[in-house]
Amino acid sequence: MQFEEIDGKIAECLQKIENAKRRAGREDSVVLIGATKTQPPELIKYIQEKSLLSDVGENRAQEIIEKFEYGMDLRWHMIGQLQTNKVKYIIDKVVMIHSLDRESLADEIDKQAKKHNIVADCLIEVNMGNELSKGGVDPKNLFRFLDYAQSRENIRLRGLMTVMPNLQDSERLIKLYQSFAKLFEELKDRVDSRHKIDTLSCGMTNDFEMAIEFGGATQVRLGRVIFGERNYTVANI
């Protein structure tokens, strides 16, 4: 795909977002995060120069580090699983970590945020499909983990994130999104005033319209539908 094609793809996705909001009777905003996994740094530069998106997300710390200088005016999100030993490389570069799902990671984010004298905005990732191949807190354990995470002084919880299972059964997926939205509402009543629960990060290429209409998504993470397929290799750190 040529970079110029991306302009139209983003416009199409933005229109679909608006249509899904209309079906749900929503008037609030939904942020489109461009999931630029495996895309080259030059794409980041193109997005920034043409003001196509304000927010981009990466699944790997290595890619944030390599691409950050090409889009320093963009809002960077860590949307993939985050190893504790990689937190120090991205803590001062991202506006939000979407994949907080274990105590050791909460401790490390808190530690590194303190070093930089910042408060790290985080989402708790929930494994709604109970899939062994994915990260995330089991929904049944969400509020136990919440108590631990919200006690870390340099973490500010902003809401929830999930990667839904790839289902052909739309009715089941709708029910999962409705359950996810319910967890979000319950979360609001269980956090102290230091936190700001306003973000539901869910919905990808295959299901973002459903996430908006039935799950109340305030952020959708779109990659393939905008950027197509492309392999790009970064060095490990």
SS3 220: strand
Predicted confidence at residue 234, as pLDDT, reads: 56
Q: Which residues of the chain have pLDDT under 50?
A: none
Residue whose structure tokens are 């979000």: 184
Predicted confidence at residue 34, as pLDDT, reads: 98
Q: Give the whole-angstrom CA distance, residue 224 versus residue 6.
A: 11
* Tokens matching residue 75: 């809002």
CA distances from 58 to 78, 95, 151, 225 (A): 5, 12, 27, 16
Predicted confidence at residue 187, as pLDDT, reads: 96
Predicted confidence at residue 227, as pLDDT, reads: 94
In DSSP terms, 222 is beta-bridged to 34
Tens of pLDDT, residue by residue over 187-211, are 999 999 999 999 999 999 999 999 9
Tens of pLDDT, residue by residue over 219-231, are 999 999 999 876 6
Query: What is the value of pTM for the model shown?
Result: 0.95
8 Å CB contact between 214 and 181: yes
